[in-house]
Amino acid sequence: MNSFTYFTAADFTERKIRNFECNIPIIIDGITEELFEAVKKKILLNFGENAVIVIMNDRGESEEKAASELSYAPRLIVKGADFVARDHYTYGDLLEIIARLRDPDGCPWDRAQTHESIRSCAIEEAYELAEAVDLKDRDKMVEESGDVMLQGLFHASIAEEEGLFTANDLIDGLCRKLIFRHTHIFGDKKAADADEALKNWEQAKAVEKGYRGIKDKIDSVPVTFGALMRAYKVQKIIKKTGFDFACAGDAEAKILEEVKEFDSATSPEEREKEGGDMLFAVVNTLRMYDIDPETALNGTTNRFIRRFLYVEKKCRETGVELTKENIDVMEKYYQEAKKFEDK
């Protein structure tokens, strides 16, 4: 018996029907003129403009057309196509490709990887996605979001070979977590605004994780976080106990206090300690203004790079060497770069 997937048009157009097995034919039946545009739109979205569609009329006659050329018919069949031959892919294809790369005769590099060897890749891809968001680069966001997804599924593929868990376990666990923590959507609680929704989420998370006190919440912050991010997360947790500055002005005053203590340090060890305190105070101040310190510092670093590249360009054009003896000239060009940036 030939394999196929069958949908009524009403079921096919439901939003909850999102994933399709494109390697076998998909039959869409009972299409009314009212539903046709919705059916066509979903076909184009999920299978692409060049997908081959078999159009069936009431007399049992058929013809093949590209999805982009569809006209009304009561029954349509999306022809199955081997995943290496089509121009639109699905979740199942991604799992198959990863598994194929890990096969005994697959890619030597992919086969050699372990959980430990690709550990840093997830961090790198997350930062590249963050950069794409900052740049508001649509294509880069698509690419980097896919790379972030790949990291989780790559770990799942390795784990499946080890008998630990599968990609389906990963998806199942994530869905269960989202349902359990959104008690104001899937439960009986209500949330009038984003703050209340976050409060419900955190309460549900505390139940799920079995947090017994503030120590459990602090311990949940990964030590592998960047220093700024970890300080920010810990401060946000402690804030909920009431142990916090009365206002942002008090937090800013703490920065000045820490600067003085840094200046008074008499040993490298003490200076390192006071330097950490100074950074921690800055994070506290930014937090009180709802500013993410990672985002703020990355923005400053990017601006500094752009400005200095302008300095380097102007010095090259005017024959000025990049040396400390020419610091006054370099500073002049740096201030020029700031003015251009402001404009």
pLDDT tens sequence across 8-34: 999 999 999 988 888 889 999 999 999
- Whether residue 141 lies inside any domain: the answer is yes
Percent of the chain's residues with pLDDT above 70? 99
C-alpha torsion 59→60→66→67, nearest 10: 80
Instruction: List, for residues 268-283, the tens digit of each pLDDT value.
Output: 999 999 999 999 999 9
- Looking at residue 3, its pLDDT comes to 86
Instruction: List, for residues 101-154, the tens digit of each pLDDT value.
Output: 999 999 999 999 999 999 989 989 998 998 899 889 999 999 999 999 999 999
- Whether residue 214 lies inside any domain: the answer is no
**Contact between 31 and 4 (Cβ < 8 Å):** no
Phi, psi of 118 (to 5 degrees): -105, 10
- Looking at residue 12, its pLDDT comes to 95
Q: Is the pLDDT of residue 334 over 60?
A: yes
Percent of the chain's residues with pLDDT above 90? 68
Q: How does residue 210 score in pLDDT terms, banded at 50, 70 and 90?
A: confident
- Looking at residue 62, its pLDDT comes to 79
Domain residues for 336? 294-342
Task: Indicate which CATH number applies to the domain containing 129.
Answer: 1.10.287.1080
Q: Are residues 107 and 50 in the same domain?
A: no
Q: Are residues 97 and 69 in the same domain?
A: no
- Whether residue 56 lies inside any domain: the answer is yes
Q: Is the pLDDT of residue 71 over 60?
A: yes
Domain boundary (78, 103, 122) is at 78
Q: Is the pLDDT of residue 1 over 60?
A: no
CA gap 234, 217 in Å, rounded = 9
**Contact between 14 and 36 (Cβ < 8 Å):** no
- DSSP assignment of 280-308: HHHHHHHHHTT--HHHHHHHHHHHHHHHH
**Cα Dmax for the chain:** 94
- Looking at residue 135, its pLDDT comes to 87
Q: Are strands 26-29 and 5-8 parallel, antiparallel or unpaired?
A: parallel
- Looking at residue 317, its pLDDT comes to 94
- Looking at residue 48, its pLDDT comes to 85
Q: Could you give the number of structural domains in the chain?
A: 3
Domain boundary (51, 78, 105) is at 78
Q: Are residues 10 and 74 in the same domain?
A: yes
Q: Are residues 53 and 101 in the same domain?
A: no
Laid out side by side, the sheet with 62-66 consists of 5-8, 26-29, 75-78, 52-56, 62-66
C-alpha angle 201-203-204 in degrees, rounded to nearest 5? 65
DSSP state letter for 23: T
Task: Indicate which CATH number applies to the domain containing 56.
Answer: 3.30.950.10
Q: Is the pLDDT of residue 243 over 90?
A: yes
- Whether residue 288 lies inside any domain: the answer is no
Mean pLDDT in residue range 302-323: 93
- Give this prediction's pTM: 0.72
Q: How does residue 209 score in pLDDT terms, banded at 50, 70 and 90?
A: confident
Q: Which residues of 170-200 are buried (b: 16+ CB within 10 A; e: fewer)?
A: beeeeeeeeeebbbbeeeeeebeeeeebeeb
Instruction: List, for residues 289-304, the tens digit of each pLDDT value.
Output: 999 998 899 889 989 9
Q: Coil, helix or strand for 266?
A: coil
Q: Is the pLDDT of residue 341 over 70?
A: yes
- Whether residue 123 lies inside any domain: the answer is yes
- Whether residue 256 lies inside any domain: the answer is no
Q: Is the pLDDT of residue 83 over 80?
A: no
Q: How does residue 159 score in pLDDT terms, banded at 50, 70 and 90?
A: very high
CA gap 49, 194 in Å, rounded = 39
Provide the β-strand partners of residue 236: none
- Six-digit token pair at 228? 């700024």
- Whether residue 189 lies inside any domain: the answer is no
- Whether residue 184 lies inside any domain: the answer is no
Q: Are residues 56 and 104 in the same domain?
A: no
Q: Which residues of 314-335 are buried (b: 16+ CB within 10 A; e: fewer)?
A: bbeeeebeeeeeeeebbeebbe
- Looking at residue 312, its pLDDT comes to 95
Q: Is the pLDDT of residue 85 over 80?
A: no
Domain boundary (125, 145, 165) is at 165
